[in-house]
Structure 1
């Protein structure tokens, strides 16, 4: 029968230490805490904590039973991610281990399963920063939260089963296309086998488009073959606007019975970096992206599918990006799947940060290259492999090897290696560079020239992979001038990469604030480098990106102002930057029109939608100050109004959930945002009122249930407990009646 894959995430027992006694099947783990995966082995404060708090060895145990119906089959346990070192025991016997927290691994349990009786699985999890495992060995500017923080699956297959498939679209830009599929088959029967392979291409709704058959015979333990589907017509290309996906299925058939089937989603597209820029499906595209850390408040990395997918949606639909870099490690498959579905390009790289360790360390890093590419090479969203340790020094032999591994496993994609040093040895296909000139004290340049960074006399494929960030860290609740300057730094670079014909684009540092080690950040264990905070709430810099969204998709009109006469150093609200995709903005004070204002095309000629800048307004400190009104027009038609109060007062607490319906089964979660607003619905940024949240029903709040707003707003995540029901959230805030929200768990 075909493979069976079951979620293996619930009813784990957890203890925040480890003893050899825990390995014994008879050990009484009644004192352990029952948890569901994904799980962080230490819930942390939002800020001001010691990163050593999560760097310890812990234990996970799970009791389970398998029917004797599975006798004679091969039984795997598939881990998506365990931070940082995992050693796995079954019924008291060590059956495998894995080094590295960001790549998947599988454990074959077959020889040690006891059928029709209880089995005890024990996982020792070492979350210490071990010098033998990348990215460790020196300091790193991010935290590596411990635990079995991604999902685990039970996989049951026949002795003859499919190990991997790699479906590669061919002739993508031709009217008639093809798919070459490399197939690796494992034969654990111990004898020669004869069988048929069936390869099928279908639409996502199941309509079959093409099928091919191949007869196979062999006795080797590993059997490899390539199957080709030719003559494919009317295939829609995958791109950022129409991310069309197709299903490739390979089946093993014996005597007319399907013994195994392996399915993968693919997209037909070409993605090529050249000295003249980046081309998607043969058309030039300027990359506009941000870096993403996968961390969240309180639980670090341990968030489920829905929350991982939401990050992709925020990047694509809220910020208007076309690209994300998975800094500095492979990220959740749920996140990458969503990038495929919505058309968000991905630059994915191996774990690491500046440091290169010894030979064994490098061996592990090379394994990470292999694991990353084998796991993710079917994703059409991925356009570049990062095979160099982020910002590391040159290491010829090591990087010759990482590039060779990437090119051997995937001949369809180019490689990049992110560096921060000029004249670095160029071994990859694309010169990827972190350029922080923009914002550096005393330097008026926006970016270095390509020749300055490469040291070469000729143009090469070139991509700026970080800018901004630590050059101008900005808190969402900072003073207006700093927020304005932060946004302008990002806008300058967005404009710059659109103007340079030899740039493939830019990926800014970074999307979201993140927790970090004490050597970095603001001293409270947070790097405030994001255009959004850790709760995914926007700073003004977020609108520099969002304003490039086509007005047919969403209207953006965001003046960078608190609309207060005393917020800036010398008073007033000018020069006033308005991030908008409108053709024109009219501004009124006290109902009197102050002017019609147009995009600053001269200063920002590269971007589709330059900001509007108002340099002067009538009015002086303490006088002539009244309510303001901004009206946006597209093709002379009014499309949006934004009104501002000269005397804002706290009027309401707006509460909204990303989702009002969650799923039972494995735990699910959604974000709820809380925003203090004035009489016109605008954020009141300096309110710090205390919110008390209670929840009734089969769920809980991640993090504290009483907290202050930060800069006038905050968010929380609500998690389910795996069973259906209604979650009723009650929000109590002084000066307001209690508010309630209901979320259904189906």
Structure 2
């Protein structure tokens, strides 16, 4: 086997200079911490250049095993690409192997070296140079292994990972995939980091297994508008052969990066021992964290020796906020009643084509979609999320409910299952305890009938691991042992809750039930189907809980989460879950825009109007408008009719005909006045205003004058137009237009990041032709590549609802990417091709690799 090896020393030098030249700032934590410059610790990106095979191979753990014919891939990696309609358990389950060859330069080899896998799906074993150094059961929490004992400091090294995502009832979730409402996508599907420290260092709580300890642990002791007291615990380990004296410095920096509090402690730490330091920091004139003002502080811990040299340094981000669930009085945030209801959505972590292997920027983009859809809380379904998603929730201002892995399964036959659940609970608290976004801990197995004493113990474990104010557990009402939990899950208006004194949250509402629930709507099913889904999520007429229903509950009922935000795969169903308000590619449905309209206008949230109507032959006579403005004015056919309605919850609906066509003989039509909704911004419905006129651009009135068939919708606040939308009937397709959907998170050249590009079919007036089903061929050149090919129906791709999605992955070199879309079988009079040029930006990471995976052209 011949593998070209690049000197890691030169790679380090190049990467560091490259990152410094571009001034790339960190956007996500790494290996459980945020980096501190020049602090004695280095965290390297270990994602690139893994050799991979999707099968079980004997002796693949041996250092000299010949893997030269294996694929070269980059992590995050999900074993395979799958079609967007894959479901019913057709994904691969079984053993896969990963191997990575690497060298360490002389300076780095003197450090303590550990690998931090953010997650490996299923059960896994890890070898270094043929020696077993780690074994793990569970696919959603970190795996940390020590490299020092078997590391070759002067030559080649090989990490080998055996990963198995097949069914196994001995660890959670435990349920066979064929009966699971989600999927066990496999692989090393989150980031891998190589952490280099000196022999005295701040520990990783995922590794040291200390109750309420390890790493950095922050908690809020007291909070007011004038002053916040932050308690800090730091766990420090000495792996040196001598007792050492050192200084520990704690710095708290405000959202602008200014140090507002600092403290120093002189310490003596014995050889091969650990110690904890405690500090209380008083912050004057604090910037408090909330969903509408997500201000984050950075807490840095620096360890230095007698000479003032930095030994180690790490940081964590915290939000200064106080959460209180006050039973009948509801939720309090920062000593004030929470304004309104805390509304949001559930979120599974899979994505079209790539399964679970979503890069960090993709995690942020998912969070941004949810925030833009008026979600101020996200419930994990049904396992801890990627650390990058948690970082995004902190930064964007979304609360998060952390859930232990589990779904409708309990193992009565093997007690090891329960013990592994307990360990998962401890690890999820240790990993996520410092996040500002965490509001509830859900330690119970979702929808599972397990022993009562087990349920009670899950609650107690959370409070053992987080023994301070602000830790709240939650469980379904009525489950055995639920009475010890701090908050309960329940549906609105449940008569069994008459005597309940705890605060209540609805964990799932909307598209709950069987796979054929009527509001599980594929985006391509069109206007009427999407309208139905949006209406049911807003205000159901079939008796299921809705956004409106939850908003019309006492303050004891603090909020709820839609099931579900994104279309996703499932092992137990013959088709994917279609109940998302965006699809598996993150393309929007009407319901997304309806939810976006629930966000009040503010400095951060712009006024908006959206016309949920396509002006097609089979469109409804009623016109639905989503808006966050106070009033809406609809102008039909360039002034043939003009109607206006008040749209905000703070006004009652009224009907108003401002003007009619002067020569029109018929009197103005009357409009039904809907009763006031409990939505912040009810859906505005102009009834019986659309008549299909043969899809012509121009119509003739009874005066013989010509006017354009059109809708002009204007949103008004304080009588002034602040937002507008204009629509005309779509004609035949004329050209393709490519649109980048990066959610303001630029594509990063790190070998894993990818973005959605939508190809739209437009007519000559710029309208998206929704009912077009041409097949599109994509081409990409430059520093990017297409994810998927014809084998997974990715390229070519048939149009659905007027668009065709394309996923474009960045290379490791920043630069321009040219994208072209054309008809698969073009002709003289067919739709014209479209082109788009985008550009990726440099990564701030320092990489360790001998090879780099390249996006395959065939799967």
Pair in the same fold by TM > 0.5: yes
CA distance in 2, matches of 1:740, 1:221: 61
* TM alignment of 1:106-505, pairs within 5 A: 106-138=144-176, 139-163=179-203, 164-219=215-270, 221-255=272-306, 256-275=308-327, 276-283=329-336, 284-285=338-339, 286-317=341-372, 319-357=373-411, 358-410=414-466, 411-419=468-476, 425-433=482-490, 435=491, 447-449=492-494, 451-452=495-496, 454=497, 457-470=499-512, 471=517, 472-492=519-539, 493-501=546-554, 502-505=556-559
**Residue 420 of structure 1: CA displacement?**
8.0
Q: Does the 8 Å contact 1:11/1:34 carry over to 2?
A: yes
Partner of 1:645: 728
Partner of 1:439: none
Q: Does the 8 Å contact 1:587/1:628 carry over to 2?
A: yes
Structure 1 runs not aligned, ≥5 long: 436-446
**Residue 482 of structure 1: CA displacement?**
3.2
SS at match of 1:467: strand
Partner of 2:818: 728
Q: Does the 8 Å contact 1:184/1:224 carry over to 2?
A: yes
Q: Does the 8 Å contact 1:38/1:148 carry over to 2?
A: yes
**Residue 375 of structure 1: CA displacement?**
1.1
> Residues 54 and 415 (structure 1 numbering): CA distance in 2 closer, same or farther, change over 3 Å?
farther
Q: Does the 8 Å contact 1:3/1:157 carry over to 2?
A: yes
- The alignment status of 1:672 with 2:757, answered yes or no, reads yes
> Residues 503 and 191 (structure 1 numbering): CA distance in 2 closer, same or farther, change over 3 Å?
same
Deviation per residue, 1:225-264 (Å, 9 max, x gap) = 3432443212211111221111111122221222111211
- The alignment status of 1:712 with 2:760, answered yes or no, reads no
**Residue 204 of structure 1: CA displacement?**
4.7
Partner of 1:440: none
CA distance in 2, matches of 1:337, 1:731: 35
Partner of 1:589: 636
**Residue 483 of structure 1: CA displacement?**
2.4
More displaced stretch, 694-703 vs 54-63: 694-703
Partner of 2:717: 634
**Residue 583 of structure 1: CA displacement?**
2.0
Structure 2 runs not aligned, ≥5 long: 1-38, 204-214, 540-545, 654-673, 701-708, 789-793, 842-859
SS at match of 1:485: helix
CA distance in 2, matches of 1:180, 1:586: 54
- The alignment status of 1:699 with 2:699, answered yes or no, reads no
Deviation per residue, 1:595-640 (Å, 9 max, x gap) = 2223365634433212212234485998999433333322221233
CA distance in 2, matches of 1:484, 1:739: 30
Q: Does the 8 Å contact 1:391/1:420 carry over to 2?
A: no
CA distance in 2, matches of 1:420, 1:515: 28
Q: Does the 8 Å contact 2:241/2:272 carry over to 1?
A: yes
More displaced stretch, 699-708 vs 527-536: 699-708
**Residue 121 of structure 1: CA displacement?**
0.9
CA distance in 2, matches of 1:702, 1:267: 37
In the superposition, the TM-score normalised over structure 2's length comes to: 0.80
> Residues 663 and 327 (structure 1 numbering): CA distance in 2 closer, same or farther, change over 3 Å?
same
SS at match of 1:78: strand
Partner of 1:438: none
More displaced stretch, 87-96 vs 470-479: 470-479
Larger relative contact order (CA 8 Å, sep ≥ 6): 2
**Residue 313 of structure 1: CA displacement?**
1.0
In the superposition, the TM-score normalised over structure 1's length comes to: 0.91
* Aligned counterpart in structure 1 of residue 595 of structure 2, from 531, 542, 545: 545
Q: Does the 8 Å contact 1:58/1:126 carry over to 2?
A: yes
Higher share in strand? 1
SS at match of 1:22: coil
**Residue 650 of structure 1: CA displacement?**
2.5
- The alignment status of 1:555 with 2:607, answered yes or no, reads yes
* Aligned counterpart in structure 1 of residue 569 of structure 2, from 515, 530, 545: 515
Q: Does the 8 Å contact 1:394/1:424 carry over to 2?
A: no
Deviation per residue, 1:101-128 (Å, 9 max, x gap) = 1101200111111111111110001111
CA distance in 2, matches of 1:147, 1:479: 36
**Residue 535 of structure 1: CA displacement?**
1.4
CA distance in 1, matches of 2:765, 2:833: 21
- The alignment status of 1:606 with 2:678, answered yes or no, reads yes
**Residue 290 of structure 1: CA displacement?**
0.8
Partner of 2:128: 90
SS at match of 2:482: coil
> Residues 666 and 457 (structure 1 numbering): CA distance in 2 closer, same or farther, change over 3 Å?
same
More displaced stretch, 159-168 vs 627-636: 627-636
